[in-house]
Amino acid sequence: MSTSWLPCGTYHQNYAEDQSLWQTKFIKGKMILLFAILFIGIPLWADNYWMSILNTIGYTILGALGVQLLIGFCGQVTLGHAAFIAVGAYTSTLLILEVPWPQALMDFGIAYPVSIVIAAITAGVVSVIFGLPSARVKGFYLILTTMAAQFIIVDFIITQYVSQIGGRGQAFSIPPEAIKVGPFTIDSDTKVYFMMLIIVILSVTIVVNLLRSRVGRAWVAIRDNDISADVMGINVIKYKLLAFFVAGFIGGLAGAFWISNLAAISPEHFPWFWSLWLVGVILIGGVGSIHGTIFGSIFMVVVMELLQLGVMPLADIYPKLLMDFLFIKEAAFGLAICAFMIFEPNGLAYRWWQLKNYFNLWPFSY
């Protein structure tokens, strides 16, 4: 049978064909085109303004990916993910600024990549610590325990103690030459963009392959009914904590990446509202969907940017709008969630699935 198109007229002959990510030449062609646009087309077209927006989208994807894994695939509600992103950011920053790296490692651009890995592992371990209550509680009670991570880590430990290291006060200034990967100094929005693409692609690949494995099937079973999963022989506590570790690991990657986009880092970069924002991203994009994480991130960042562009001209007439933009942004965020919950509870990923099926099944789309 021909395997050029899906889903009509395609019959898989073996398990490898059935489980492959890119199952046809047509899909492979689409992915090659996508990569060409991302790595060649956009850098040639976008200026610094659009690059900064794209970098924000990438940061949001990395932050929301861990939230999606916990809520969408494992059923563990979290409202403290910004704390683990902060752990990754501060761990990477301290490793770069405070550790006396050999000059050779600094010159060859090894210190920052190593700090990213260590920061991600540290954030994963911290996430597991705050995920321990998931062994005994769930739902509303788990929300409270994950919120505690924000208040303990960011508002107490980082603000009162970590930020005081080196006598810097509340902010760590990051020299541009310190953010170096191999021979490349990450000192422009375009270089940050390329690094963001690589980290996002690697993170999505890791999560997608985990979800296709025994681990992913265990997470979904726990999400659907943890008692039934336990009866089936799944070690529920083990897989819950593994989900927290992977989510925290990706959050640590997000934080360690984001310092490359900041001149200085402070606790104000990781407010509790950011945790709530990431939950809103997956609700709008689609819970339980990797596509939903990406679509939700694009939607939220672009809509808020358009909202700001719309408010700016009106600020000349009514200056208070500019001062109140943060509240306008929060109100728009709440309205967006309400609108999606009412009119599109399955999120943008569901619309993408419908559009894709309509195209693949044409002319018999009915």
pTM for this prediction: 0.92
pLDDT value, residue 136: 84
Distance CA 237, CA 246 (A): 14
Q: Is residue 147 a contact partner of residue 272, using CB atoms and an 8 Å limit? A: yes
Does residue 354 lie within any of the structural domains?
no
Does residue 111 lie within any of the structural domains?
yes
Does residue 313 lie within any of the structural domains?
no
Distance CA 75, CA 224 (A): 7
pLDDT value, residue 1: 45
What residue numbers bound the domain in which 191 lies? 45-270
Does residue 32 lie within any of the structural domains?
no
Task: Compute the half-sphere exposure of residue 342: CA atoms within 13 Å on the CB side of its CA.
Answer: 6
Does residue 242 lie within any of the structural domains?
yes
β-strands 264-265, 172-173: how paired? antiparallel
Q: What is the pLDDT of residues 25-80, one digit of tens each?
A: 878 888 999 999 999 999 999 889 999 999 999 999 999 999 999 999 999 989 99
Q: Is residue 295 a contact partner of residue 348, using CB atoms and an 8 Å limit? A: yes
Q: What DSSP state is assigned to residue 207?
A: H
- Per-position DSSP letters for 232-260, written without gaps between them: TT--HHHHHHHHHHHHHHHHHHHHHHHGG
* Cis peptide bond prior to 176, omega within 30° of 0: no
Q: Which residue has the higher pLDDT, 347 or 357?
A: 347
Does residue 177 lie within any of the structural domains?
yes
pLDDT, the chain, mean: 88
Does residue 299 lie within any of the structural domains?
no
Lowest-pLDDT range of 3-12, 51-60, 175-184: 3-12
- Between the alpha carbon of residue 61 and those of residues 3, 21, 202, 285, the distances in Å are 32, 20, 12, 11
Lowest-pLDDT range of 3-12, 41-50, 208-217, 278-287: 3-12
Does residue 84 lie within any of the structural domains?
yes
Q: What DSSP state is assigned to residue 41?
A: I
Local confidence band at 152 (pLDDT 50, 70, 90 cut-offs): very high
The H or E element spanning position 265 is strand 264-265
- The average pLDDT across 169-190 equals 83
Q: Which residue has the higher pLDDT, 338 or 323?
A: 338
Backbone CA torsion sign across 255, 258, 260, 263? negative
Residue 169 has pLDDT above 70, yes or no: no
Q: Considering its fold, how many domains does the chain have in total?
A: 1
Distance CA 66, CA 71 (A): 9
**What are the φ/ψ torsions at residue 312 (nearest 5 degrees)?**
-55, -50
Q: What is the pLDDT of residues 249-283, one digit of tens each?
A: 999 999 999 999 888 898 889 999 999 999 999 99
Q: Which residue has the higher pLDDT, 242 or 362?
A: 242
pLDDT value, residue 170: 64
Which pairs count as long-range contacts for 130-138, CB under 8 Å and 24+ apart, including other chains? 130/80, 130/83, 130/244, 131/76, 131/240, 131/241, 131/243, 131/244, 131/245, 131/248, 132/241, 134/76, 134/237, 134/240, 134/241, 134/244, 135/237, 135/240, 135/241, 138/76, 138/77, 138/226
